[in-house]
Amino acid sequence: SAVSAPIQYAAIKAYQGNHNNYIESSRIILEAVGNFVFTKLNSNKVLINKPQGGFYLMPEFIDAKFNSSAEMCNNILEDTGVALLPGSDFGFDEKKMIARLSFTDFDGNNFMKEFEKDHNIDHKLISRCAPKVVEGVDMLKKWSEKL
């Protein structure tokens, strides 16, 4: 009924010191990657809100002809290799073609080191540090354009 001793000691260590720079750098990186994904997907085929924090977006695919968001996500996975969770898993009507897209498939430690060099995030840095995100979003965009 209690947290184990090793975890308690790890928590004590985690709360010591100032982590403000790490937290702020993480926020900036996630904001930049989220905005990249938003800009890339936002179109007449994809309704998506600009990210306001966090690490995922909930795009709605307009004119997608599937019986459920789960069926649509299975099709996306089969056609593109991009894994999304159906909106119905998060309480949305299964007939709405909404999916949850996480944009965190990258080495955060490496991205942090690259960001710390000049505190500038551009398309080149995102492409270099988050290539799977860039590739996945490109494939998802091409998929959506066929709707």
Q: pLDDT for 57-107, tens place per residue?
A: 999 999 999 999 999 999 999 999 999 999 999 999 999 999 999 999 999
pLDDT average, residue stretch 131-136: 98
Contacts of residue 25, Cβ cutoff 8 Å, sequence gap at least 6 = 112, 115, 116
The Cα–Cα gap between 133 and 101 comes to: 10
**Taking the CA atoms of the chain, what radius of gyration do you get in angstroms?**
18
Considering the entire predicted model, what is its pTM?
A: 0.89
